[in-house]
Amino acid sequence: MMVDHCLSCARQVESPNADARPEGEISLVVLHSISLPPGAFGGDDIEALFTNQLDWDAHPFFQSIRGLRVSAHLLIRRDGGCVQFVPFDRRAWHAGRSRWQSRQALNDFSVGIELEGDARPFTHAQYERLAQVLLALEHRYPHIEARKWVTHEQIAPLRKTDPGPSFDHQYLARLMAG
């Protein structure tokens, strides 16, 4: 499922919003959610944002994020389709100011996965694909603890709320268990 730090099942779209990781292990997975514009699914705006090609004038909301330079390693769409923007051995710009346990600068050692979504429940196809991806990451990167992931709201609780209360941690764990 993985070749040269890229998922073979993912469409590859290169993001310029990435750089070299510092020396060290990949040991954490951070789960996010995104919809652009808010509440919209299936369009090209997320890819445009992550590749610095978003038309800032295409929607009023985009003015509030004008100039934002972010990325994630993966985007899992509502239908379970997967887009990879950054190879896992490179640093994607997804966590921002954040902290997990005693560590900061989480982009240095984490993988960022965006789920296309908002406050509505995520789809079965997304959970299935996410379980497959997490198992592949655990297999490829032994420092990632088995069955361990964190959410953006857990690492930046005062500024982020994603993926939110509709994310079903227990359902994901059951899928991964098999």
What architecture does CATH give domain 7-177? 3-Layer(aba) Sandwich (3.40)
pLDDT of residue 148: 80
Hey, how many other C-beta atoms are within 10 angstroms of the C-beta on 108? 17
Lookup: tokens for 172? 């994901």
What percent of the chain is predicted at pLDDT more than 70?
100
The catalytic site residues sit at: 114
Ramachandran region, residue 146 (left: φ > 0; alpha: ψ -120 to 50; beta: rest): beta
Q: What angle do CA 15, 112, 164 make, to 5 degrees?
A: 125
pTM for this structure?
Answer: 0.97
The residue extents of the domains of the chain are 7-177
Res 145 pLDDT > 90: no
Res 146 pLDDT > 80: no
Lookup: tokens for 22? 């510092």
pLDDT of residue 88: 97
